[in-house]
Structure 1
Amino acid sequence: MVAGGALVAAVLLGAAGSLVLAGTGGTGAQAPNHVDIGFAQDMTVHHQQAVTTANWVRDHSTDRPLRELTFDIEHGQTEQIGRVQAWLRLWSQAALPTTGHMTWMKPQTPHAPSDPAHPSRSMPGMATTEELNRMRSLSGRDLDIYFLQLMIRHHQGGEPMMRAAQDRAAIGEVRNLAGQMLTAQTAEVEAMTAMLTERGAEPLPPPH
């Protein structure tokens, strides 16, 4: 999980830039729908694992290009956590999901709401506890390769959420952020795949 002070600072920074966000108040303002809210909550959880993992590898790898990559991931996704958390506060919504993950990605109508009794309990691409423990047990080239494999899969797992928010969120700023995330992470996947090839390794199978 993101260090408390860093996350608070990111939330405050995000709030400062979100005061004019559509849907936060005012006559005729666009209200967030379940996609805006669910995306912000789930992407917080998904990003937190990426930030935590990148931070650990930055402190333990000796590979300079890889450490620069982990810094970029940590910095970019911490800022994005701040933005979505600021929006959730302005919308008076919970910071994290309360009925499982990704239920917001299912079509909702007044007659067919998502079923909170059968939520999805995990998100594609997320590393398991065992995988994170294995990563922390490695060093040198083995650590670098395994981190790249985990992070490529992690980014790939977040892609469906970004596309869903880009297509179906009610608020333009949310759609824009989802598109920015998708562009950035697609470029990072390409860079990480090239780094794996340079190190004689291949990505893990993509998440289902």
Structure 2
Amino acid sequence: MTRTHWAAVTAVVLALLFAGAATVASAGNGGFAAADRAPTGASADAGFARDMSVHHQQAVEMSFIVRDRTQDEEVRRLAYDIANTQANQRGMMLGWLDLWGLPKVSADTEPMAWMSTGGDGSSPGADRSGHSGHSGHAGHQAEDGSLMPGMATKSDLERLSRLSGKQAEILYLQLMIIHHNGGIDMAKGCVEQCEVGVERDLAQGMVDAQASEVELMVDLLHKRGAEPRP
């Protein structure tokens, strides 16, 4: 198996461990997910948990890739923090889906379709360039393996796996800025639409933390004589 495959396997194992812990912890959390109050499969709560779990998994994968492709301590530390945090959060969201008795994958639902039910009738989201804003339509058209706004394409990931040193650092930072911006817009959608308080709190925490990391990554790019992708 390649290092990327081992990274993906490790991330899955971490997520499953966290999912089990989250399920146990949530069960005793004031009964917020009692059967008569559990979100439905079509709810924003379920949609966010499913879609953000997928979004986070790619961030974990990219972070493991760059840790193998550079010796720069700043970038390696950032990549470790992102991988650790997002694997943890992914486990919590998968645990909630288990607790609610809902599937982790919904084959009949387009990614981010739940965001089309915004209060103003628009669909919050980020475009492929990573800019925040309202996309104005439900779901997302896959682009070379990019399942949701902000997610890297297969070509992006293949290129990152081939680069090393400063070039790998720059591409990782550029891709992760776009990835974070897409995640921020999705998390804002949950803050506006999710009904489970603990999930809204998690989503707001994602918005705040990832916005701060975007600022850090822009600074790291500038130190390397590079700019975020337009």
TM-score by length of 2: 0.79
1:189-200 correspondence runs (5 A): 189-200=214-225
- Identify which of structures 1 and 2 has the higher relative contact order when contacts are C-alpha pairs closer than 8 Å and 6+ apart: 1
SS in 2 for 1:123: coil
- Cα distance, 1:22–1:189 mapped onto 2, change above 3 Å: farther
Contact kept? 2:14, 2:91, Cα under 8 Å: no
Q: Does 1:43 align with 2:68?
A: no
Find the aligned partners of 1:21 and 1:144 in 2 and give their Cα distance: 44
- Cα distance, 1:83–1:42 mapped onto 2, change above 3 Å: same
Q: Paired residues, what number?
A: 195
Find the aligned partners of 1:77 and 1:58 in 2 and give their Cα distance: 16
Instruction: Give the partner amino acid of 1:201.
Output: A
Find the aligned partners of 1:140 and 1:66 in 2 and give their Cα distance: 10
Q: Does 1:14 align with 2:39?
A: no
Unmatched tracts of structure 1, length 5 or more: 110-117
Task: Tell me the alpha carbon deviations over residues 60-116 of structure 1, each in whole angstroms, 9 at most, x when there is no partner.
Answer: 21100110000100000000001000000011111123222000001189xxxxxxx
Partner of 1:103 in structure 2? 113
CA shift for structure 1 position 119? 4.8
Q: Tell which deviates more after alignment, 162-171 or 4-13.
A: 4-13
1:1-208 correspondence runs (5 A): 1=8, 3=10, 4-19=12-27, 20=29, 22-25=31-34, 30-32=37-39, 34-98=43-107, 99-107=109-117, 119-120=139-140, 121=142, 122-205=147-230
Unmatched tracts of structure 2, length 5 or more: 1-7, 120-137
Partner of 2:3 in structure 1? none
Instruction: Give the partner amino acid of 1:62.
Output: Q
Instruction: Give the partner amino acid of 1:31.
Output: A
Find the aligned partners of 2:59 and 2:20 in 1 and give their Cα distance: 20
Find the aligned partners of 2:85 and 2:103 in 1 and give their Cα distance: 23
Contact kept? 1:49, 1:126, Cα under 8 Å: yes
Contact kept? 2:51, 2:112, Cα under 8 Å: yes
Partner of 1:113 in structure 2? none
